[in-house]
Amino acid sequence: MRRATIGVSLKMYLGHQQTLDWTRAVASIARDHPAVTEGLAELFVLPSFPDILPVSDILAGTGVRTGAQDLAAEDHGPYTGEVSGAVLREIGCAFAEVGHAERRRLFGEDDTVVAAKTAAALRNGLIPVVCVGEPNVCDPEEAADRTVAELERILYTTSPGRTFGPVVVAYEPQWAIGAPAPASTRHISAVCGALASWIGSRPELAGSRVIYGGSAGPGLLTRLGADVGGLFLGRFAHRPESVRQILDEVLALPDRFRPLGPAAR
């Protein structure tokens, strides 16, 4: 059985002090919540770059891990303003988000760039949170085909010697990001099921999981099928109590999530 994977990207919504206050509240919740203490939930937070170290310090000993919202495709060199996966790993990051729709739309990142950043995360021992999702509303079957093809392009647009390993696939239909409500449960389950099936056929991706983002929040996890391994949260996690509610939902799904043994954690 598997743990639920619950990720939170703070994007650029919160200021520095707001981020620290939010983190202290989440740390207090995680420190005592059975979903975390009993190994039912894997919780990670992606703050802005300047906040990674203080957030990591606050979360130390809680079981909550940290990561970055982006990383450079290169590990070192004359890349002004970039942050490498090597540095992120050195300061204790466990995750790095790649391919978010906002990075694609605002900064022109395409599948080739996302593939390079995914490779950079993997070779530096980071778990890439690979965001995929169709740009426009379509039926679930078409969305599933398009999203699996997108993930395949990202993970296998490779050069010789590419490193593979576990990834977190965040299915985020672009049309649902920032919307008042997430995609329908039928749509989410169909696409996440196709992604999970495709990943399951790739032994080099063993340990990977599929989660849903795109206006995800409290009340959604208990309505989704077993192929959805968790949630990727944005603005609906700005209230720490919302994080607690979602962890409560993990406890309400005893048939789907079980603690992993010590060797697997």
- Residues marked active site are found at 100, 172
Task: Decide if 126 contacts 96 (C-beta within 8 A).
Answer: yes
Token representation of residue 260:
């992993």
Report the distance separating Cα 242 and Cα 236, nearest Å. 7
d(CA 136, CA 143): 9
- Rounded CA-CA distance 27/178 in Å is 26
Give the chain's largest Cα–Cα span: 50
Contacts 24+ apart (CB under 8 A), 85-91: 85/120, 85/121, 85/123, 85/124, 85/126, 86/124, 88/52, 88/124, 88/126, 89/124, 89/125, 89/126, 91/52, 91/53, 91/56
Are 230 and 221 in contact, with CB atoms under 8 Å apart? yes
Amino acid at residue number 74? E
